Amino acid sequence: MSKAFISVEGLTRRFPEPSGKAELTVFEDLWFGVEEGEFACVIGHSGCGKSTILNILAGLDAPTAGHIIAAGKHVQGPSLDRAVIFQGHALMPWLSALGNVELAVSSRHPGWSRAQIRAHAMKYLALVHLDGSELKKPAQLSGGMRQRVGIARALAIEPRMLLMDEPFSALDALTRGSLQDEVIAIRNATRQTVFMITHDVDEALLLADKILLMTNGPKAWVAEIVANTLPKERTRAELHKQPNYYPLRNHLIDFLVTRSRALALDPEARPSNRNPPVIRPTAAPPHAATSHHPQSAGQAPAPHLASARIAATQAAG
């Protein structure tokens, strides 16, 4: 089998405890892949290690064991192939919106003239509807506008992979919605590979092709990969009208509310196989409505997952 575009192989990260006498194992021996052009979301409770995975993928942190191969290369440091959008935007406060994007463009294209760099930066600021505000400094912009500058800056270097750590979580619902729409439009145009962390189940269902469910930590693991069974062309307004929406949503909520903790407390729960099972929640066909039919039409569920999934099916009605 050929390797995935992003291949996470036996990834382990431990940090020394503050006492210096013990170690915290955030996660151990993680294996999963993200295909080229795929949009993968990670969901899990606070502290399970989501940002740590993203930071290792970005090349900003190193694993204790294992490695990540991205676009055929061993990740060993930051690369312009992988742009990061942080929750806190991380803009240079002394530079204007334009200056922030230009700085990134000039690092990508050191040979370009100032005029070329400016034109390219303006193109991406226009894409996130910030033309007209390009000379403002971060302090003069709203939270949503700052986040947009961060997105423009990441996109302007035209990376092959976009890594996003809860990029919209600090925003109000309206701004979040319009930025999600912009991300969908830009992504449809560029077909970039995206790895995104979110706490928002609906955001994951709107944006992602697949959703990685992480158990609670320490020693967190990817319990399963949920394939998004909604139609590819989907909008926020129509999401809840799709037959598969509630089975999917209930599955994710059920994981977050009960299974993420229950699995973490059960040492037997972690399967020995390297590939997390792929689950495809769907609305049960009418003839199966009264039977205990697992929702997953793909790979058979691991035995320890089956009862929870049936419960989710029943909850979905």
Ligand X SMILES: Nc1ncnc2c1ncn2[C@@H]1O[C@H](COP(=O)(O)OP(=O)(O)OP(=O)(O)O)[C@@H](O)[C@H]1O
Site residues, ligand X (CB under 6 A): 15, 26, 44, 46-52
Residue 51 or 296 having the CB closest to Mg ion:
51
Nearest Cα residue to 264 out of 215, 212, 214, 213: 215
Q: How far is the CB of 46 from ligand X (least distance, A)?
A: 3
Give the count of residues interacting with Mg ion (CB under 5 A): 1
Q: Which does 46 bind (CB under 5 to 8 A by kind): ligand X, Mg ion, none?
A: ligand X
Indicate the residue among 48 and 263 with the shorter CB distance to ligand X: 48
Q: Which is nearer to ligand X, 44 or 277 (CB)?
A: 44
What does 291 interact with, of ligand X, Mg ion, none (CB < 5 to 8 A by kind)? none
Q: Output 141 or 154, the one with its CB closest to Mg ion.
A: 154
* Site for Mg ion contains 51 (CB under 5 A): yes
Which residue reads 């092709």 in tokens?
209
Q: How many CB atoms lie within 10 A of CB 115?
A: 8
Of 25 and 299, the one with the shorter C-beta distance to ligand X is 25
Q: What are the DSSP calls for the chain, one per residue?
A: -PPPSEEEEEEEEEEE-TTSSSEEEEEEEEEEEE-TT-EEEEE--TTSSHHHHHHHHHTSS--SEEEEEETTEE--S--TTEEEE-TT----TTS-HHHHHHHHHHHH-TTS-HHHHHHHHHHHHHHTT-TT-TT--GGGS-HHHHHHHHHHHHHHT--SEEEEESTTTTS-HHHHHHHHHHHHHHHHHH--EEEEE-S-HHHHHHH-SEEEEEPPSSSB-EEEEEE--S-SS--TTTGGGSTTHHHHHHHHHHIIIIIHHHHHH-TTTS-SSSSPPEE---PPPGGGTTS---S-SSSPPPHHHHHHHHHHHHHH-
Pick what 49 binds: Mg ion, ligand X, none; C-beta below 5 to 8 Å, kind-dependent.
ligand X
Pairing status of strand 73-74 against strand 65-70:
antiparallel
Contact 225, 213 (CB under 8 A): yes
In the list ligand X, Mg ion, none, the entry touching 47 (Cβ below 5 to 8 angstroms by class) is ligand X
In terms of CB distance, is 51 or 229 closer to Mg ion?
51
Compute the least distance from the CB of residue 20 to Mg ion, in Å: 24
Closest distance to ligand X from the beta carbon of 197 (Å): 7
Residue 176 or 280 with smaller CB distance to Mg ion: 176
CB of 269 to ligand X, least distance (A): 19
What's the token pair of residue 311?
Answer: 């419960």
Name the residue number minimizing CB distance to Mg ion. Answer: 51
Between 51 and 295, whose beta carbon lies closer to Mg ion?
Answer: 51
The item of Mg ion, ligand X, none sharing an interface with residue 247, based on CB under 5 to 8 Å by kind, is none
Residue 183 beta carbon to Mg ion: minimum distance, rounded to whole angstroms: 19
Verify binding: residue 216, Mg ion, rule CB under 5 A.
no
96 binds Mg ion, rule: CB under 5 A: no
The Cα 216–Cα 236 span in angstroms is: 29
Q: Which stretch binds Mg ion (CB under 5 A): 28-36, 50-58, 172-180, 183-191?
A: 50-58
Give the shortest CB-214-to-Mg ion separation in angstroms. Answer: 11
Binding site for Mg ion (CB under 5 A): 51
